[in-house]
Amino acid sequence: MQDHHNLETLLNTQQKKLSFFQNLVLIAAADGILDKSEEEFLLQIGKKLGLTAEDVQPIADNLGVLSFVVASEGMQRTLELQTLVQMMLQDGQIDPREYGLCMEYANRIGYSKEILDDMVTQLAGGAPTGDNRNPPTVK
C-alpha cells in the first residue's frame, strides 16, 4: 500500500514513530476493547516501523495519561489521520469514542468533520461500516 511507504518515509525518527504508534493505541483502546483485528493492525504497523515490544511498553503502561501527539508536517498529519481512521474501522464498527478521538485529531490539524467523514467513507470502501447506533458518521 502506497500510504505505508510514504508514512515510513515521513516517520524518520524514533520519536515520530513512537508518537504515531501512541496515537494508534489511543484509538484502539478508546472503546475499552482491544479487538483481535485491532491488535493485528497494531502489530503490523509496529513491525513496519521497526518498533520492538520494549519500545512500545511505556505506551501500554501509561495509557491512561497519554494524549494525541500531532505531527508538525502536513503530509504526515494527513497520512496519520488516514491510519487512525483505518484503526477505528478495524473491528467493523465505528465506536463513538474512537470516532471522537479521530475528530479531535482532525480538528487539531485543521480538518473539518466533513473531511473526516469523507475519509471514513472512502476507507470503509464507500460506505460507513458502523451500525446505526453510531450516527456521527451518517450524513
7: Cβ–Cβ under 8 A, 6 or more apart, which residues? 20, 48, 76, 79, 80, 83
DSSP 62: T
24: Cβ–Cβ under 8 A, 6 or more apart, which residues? 41, 42, 45, 83, 84, 87
- Read off the pTM: 0.79
At 4-30, the pLDDT tens digits run 457 778 899 999 999 999 999 999 999
The three grid cell numbers given for residue 102, joined into one nine-digit string: 479521530
- Calculate helix-pair angle for 74-89, 36-49, nearest 10 degrees: 150
Helices (H), 1-139: 2-10, 14-29, 36-49, 53-61, 74-89, 96-108, 113-123
At 27-53, the pLDDT tens digits run 999 988 888 999 999 999 999 999 999
Q: Which residue has the higher pLDDT, 74 or 115?
A: 115
